[in-house]
Amino acid sequence: MLVIPVIDIKDGKCVRSINDLEEETHYYCDSPVNVARLFRKENFKAIHITDLDGAISGEMRNYPIIREIVKSVDIPVQLGGGIRDFETAKHIIEELGVYRIVLGTAAIQNPDLVAKITSEFSPSKLVICIDEKLNNVVTDGWINFADITPLDFAKLMESNGVKRIIYQDVTRVGNFSGPFLERLVEIANATKLKITAAGGIGNYSHLKTLVDLKHPSIDSVMISRSLYENRFPCQAIWRDIERTDTSLELPKIK
């Protein structure tokens, strides 16, 4: 199970929102770049970045910071938030150097865009994020209902050439209530998609429940708030190292 740390950027800072992207925002660090470097020091193999301003407005707002992160780490970076057209997607893939892009709202509003990106760059460069609330896909920063179920949307994306999705129940985001296992299994059993689980991961036992599913399609997980708040046993070791080895110069998360 590949663990992918999440860096959500709002107003140029590293944040975590709970339930609603426009409300209940918790600021963790002034420098998303330092957070990315910390995750790399702690040996994560990939990083996910969301431009929250872009997710709400439909236009990327934190491009310079994201560019600096990509240049600062030597691991794959996937990026979502505010990517709504082919020109933006093309620029990010070819010029910014991210490993792959993540579409959510744009995939709902313009399925042809999905097919064009997978055809132009291959399916490996694209992930579709399925945000659910009450068995309905939500868009525009979790504000609007799309009137399609997560399963039906997953099947639609698969028919357009998509090979991987990120799935999360947005009512679980940031509250440590655990992943929506039943929906993950439902989508995994009904499609051939690879699935990255997200939303609700609060501790080691939640990770173990995903592993114990033993479903080959559910092969990775994205984690945010629980990492920043040191809720995993291994992080106690990392913090001890920080206190004893001043040469690491790791950023202080607040």
pLDDT digits (tens, 9 = 90+) for 152-209: 999 999 999 999 999 999 999 888 999 999 999 999 999 999 999 999 999 999 999 9
Q: What is the CATH number of the domain that holds 177?
A: 3.20.20.70
Task: Work out the average pLDDT over 230-248.
Answer: 62
> Best-predicted range by mean pLDDT among 54-68, 84-98, 177-191?
177-191
Residue labelled with tokens 């509250």? 175
Give domain status of residue 152, yes or no.
Answer: yes
pTM: 0.86
84 pLDDT higher than 70: yes
254 in a structural domain:
no
Active-site residue 8, yes or no?
yes
The pLDDT value recorded for residue 225 is 87
Q: Is residue 187 part of a domain?
A: yes
Report the pLDDT value the prediction gives residue 253, as an integer from 0 to 100: 42
**Which is the catalytic residue, given 8, 51, 53, 169?**
8
Per the structure, the count of domains in the chain is: 1
| 28-55 residue pLDDT tens | 678 899 999 989 988 899 999 999 888 7
Catalytic one of 51, 53, 131, 169? 131
In angstroms, the Cα distances linking 158 to 102, 110, 154, 197 are 15, 15, 6, 17
User: What pLDDT is recorded for position 247?
Assistant: 44
Q: Is residue 96 part of a domain?
A: yes
Phi and psi angles of residue 160, each rounded to the nearest 5 degrees, phi first? -95, 10
**pLDDT the model gives residue 202:** 92
**204-231: pLDDT as tens digits:** 999 999 999 999 999 999 998 888 888 8
Q: Which segments within 88-216 are labelled E, that is strand?
A: 100-103, 126-133, 136-139, 144-145, 164-169, 194-198
Q: Any catalytic annotation for residue 30?
A: no
Q: What is the percent of the chain with per-residue pLDDT over 70, rounded to a whole number?
A: 87
User: Do the domain assignments include residue 183?
Assistant: yes
Which of 1-5, 140-144, 187-191 has the largest mean confidence?
A: 187-191
Reported confidence tier of residue 251, pLDDT bands at 50, 70, 90: very low
Burial 134-169 (b: 16+ CB within 10 A, else e): eeebbbbbbeeebebbbbebbbbbbebebbbbbbbb
Which residues are CB-neighbours of 239 under 8 A, at least 6 positions away? 230
Q: Is residue 229 part of a domain?
A: yes
Give the domain range for residue 202: 2-248
On average, the pLDDT of the chain sits at 87
Q: How confident is the model at residue 16 (pLDDT cuts 50, 70, 90)?
A: confident
Statement: residue 244 has pLDDT above 90: no
Within a domain: 253: no
Residue 226 within any structural domain of the chain: yes
